């Protein structure tokens, strides 16, 4: 329930719902230490699926319907700043642990004529072809037309989005550390 303000702009306190009324996917995981973390995780779950659905549909509207979300992410990252990328760098930046996932996607995108590769010594570098770059630009046009009208572009909104981005990066570090701890548990 959103907080409401009186005419004099004094915020009205909104009570925090008890654990039984929290919006979570798994009530048995709610911790007394931070019940909000379970609410965040549920938000992350539904946001992840919505974002993946968006990636697929936006790319479909841009002209290619055979891509998985990871393919779209990898294509855009390789096109980023129009510089060549190594497989290890792609995995590192996108935080993908399984290099086979990235390798399969790169082969798929290369087979579609969207990527080219250059071997230097033992390293292979990938870049978008002109067709790959054009597809990324078409995706951008669809993104601007379909997603961006939902945002105001105002400084306050952009600052909140920036804060959320920083929090997500911080939490990804905590989840990565917890994953390492769980591996040794």
* 109 and 133 Cβ atoms separated by less than 8 Å: no
Cα(180)–Cα(123) distance, integer angstroms: 28
**Distance, first Cα to last Cα, the chain:** 39
Domains of the chain by range and CATH?
Answer: 41-150 (1.10.10.10)
Query: Which pLDDT does position 10 carry in this prediction?
Result: 57
| Prediction pTM value | 0.86
Question: What pLDDT, in 10s, does the model give residues 14-29?
Answer: 555 565 578 999 999 9
DSSP one-letter string for the chain: ----B-TT-PBPP-PPPPGGGS--S-GGG--TT-HHHHHHHHHHHHHHHHHHHHHHHHHHHHT-----HHHHHHHHHHHGGG--EEHHHHHHHHT---HHHHHHHHHHHHHTTSEEEEEETTEEEEEE-HHHHHHHHHHHHHHHHHTGGG----HHHHHHHHHHHHHHHHHHHHHHHHHHHHHT-
Choice between 14 and 108, residue whose per-residue pLDDT is larger: 108
């Amino acid at each position: 329930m959103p907080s409401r303000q009186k005419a004099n702009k004094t915020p009205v306190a909104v009570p925090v719902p008890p654990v039984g009324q929290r919006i979570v996917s798994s009530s048995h995981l709610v911790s007394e230490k931070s019940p909000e973390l379970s609410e965040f995780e549920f938000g992350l779950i539904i946001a992840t699926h919505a974002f993946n659905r968006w990636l697929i549909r936006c790319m479909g509207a841009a002209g290619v319907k055979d891509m998985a979300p990871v393919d779209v992410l990898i294509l855009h990252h390789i096109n980023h700043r129009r510089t060549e990328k190594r497989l290890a760098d792609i995995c590192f930046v996108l935080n993908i642990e399984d290099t086979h996932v990235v390798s399969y996607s790169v082969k798929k995108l290369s087979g579609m004529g969207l990527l080219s590769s250059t071997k230097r010594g033992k390293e292979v570098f990938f870049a978008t072809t002109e067709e790959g770059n054009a597809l990324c630009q078409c995706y951008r046009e669809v993104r601007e037309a379909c997603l961006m009208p939902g945002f105001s572009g105002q400084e306050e909104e952009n600052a909140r989005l920036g804060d959320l981005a920083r929090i997500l990066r911080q939490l990804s570090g905590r989840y990565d550390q917890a994953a390492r701890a769980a591996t040794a548990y």
